Structure 1
């Protein structure tokens, strides 16, 4: 009887040492535990903008290469480009959205346009053209910084997750519901 018990203890000990991981993965060999896998980045990388005028002209050419885009105005502010496109005034809203998306896709393929902001708003495009003309006439873009901030603010949505709480209150203010 002692022989059977000692054989069972020995077998259970050996079976316990040979268990596979609980998640079903095969055990990794001991000589490959420190090996790292390197993956190449596949998303286009944004290039540092050195010559803003050349980048502006390049992005305008890309935008106007899309059918039905009459003209484009681009302003490069720091490392951000804002491209305003002019479309026929009688164009359908759904078609405007499709062309705007086509311009954004074309700009995405360019390393300078990968993070460009595209707008088809006629008012914003006219303001961009005015700023672009001022920059080309030698006026510094720093004088138009506030207007550029307003333009970008109108284009970019305000996402609730991006809102930082004010230092005075940490709890959100709820509207008065006793009406």
Structure 2
């Protein structure tokens, strides 16, 4: 299912990148992606449909890249969703990076083309998005591109393990007992019965 989703994304996805200057990757930043979702965008679907994904990606990349303290930006667009990766100076502390990221999100949240955008200030993910763009333009094999997209999406949206449907704590001990062989299960039942009888006997004394 995940591969199918990535295939559909890949088919409809067009990327754009604008770069004012190249900055070294920040090796000292936290490994967790620094992202910000533009939740309060005022979405006008008619305005969005006036742009192709490529045009919208270019627009968002140029918008983000033109802001103060942003050295460049990369945008990946698929449908009404967009990833906007920004490059900032490697010497900035995490708090300052967060402030810049917030200013980018604020700049695009009221723009129709910014609807659904996620702003990323993680240098590794921004670099990987650029690499995906280059691979697509170079006509690299689909499977490799899908694997890289899967890895990027996994960093942004980790899969949550499915919860056990059995929420009754009283039924929880029954499952391991059901998995026992008959002899062990009978022995456990007898032991539990003996413990119950012993408890009742002590209570009646």
Unpaired stretches in structure 2, ≥5 consecutive residues = 1-40, 173-205
Q: Distance in 2 between matches of 1:59 and 1:172?
A: 49
Report if aligned partners of 1:49, 1:55 keep a CA contact under 8 Å in 2: no
Report if aligned partners of 2:42, 2:112 keep a CA contact under 8 Å in 1: no
Higher-Rg structure is 1
Q: Distance in 1 between matches of 2:66 and 2:128?
A: 22
Matches within 5 A, 1:23-34: none
RMSD, aligned α-carbons? 3.3
Q: Distance in 1 between matches of 2:130 and 2:60?
A: 14
- Deviation (angstroms), 1:146: 4.0
2:114 aligns to what SS in structure 1?
A: coil
Q: Which has the higher contact order (CA 8 A, sep 6+)?
A: 2
Unpaired stretches in structure 1, ≥5 consecutive residues = 1-41, 175-179
1:103 aligns to what SS in structure 2?
A: helix
Report if aligned partners of 1:71, 1:86 keep a CA contact under 8 Å in 2: yes
Q: Could you report, residue by residue, the CA deviation over 1:4-63 in whole angstroms, capped at 9, with x for unpaired residues?
A: xxxxxxxxxxxxxxxxxxxxxxxxxxxxxxxxxxxxxx9333534862221111110010
Question: What is the TM-score normalised by the length of structure 2?
Answer: 0.52
Match of 2:95 in 1: 94
- Pair 1:77 & 2:95 matched: no
Q: Distance in 2 between matches of 1:131 and 1:73?
A: 11
Match of 1:3 in 2: none
Aligned positions, number: 128
Over 3 Å counting, the alpha-carbon distance change for 1:128 and 1:98 in structure 2 is same
- Deviation (angstroms), 1:153: 3.1
Question: What is the TM-score normalised by the length of structure 1?
Answer: 0.58
More helix by share: 2
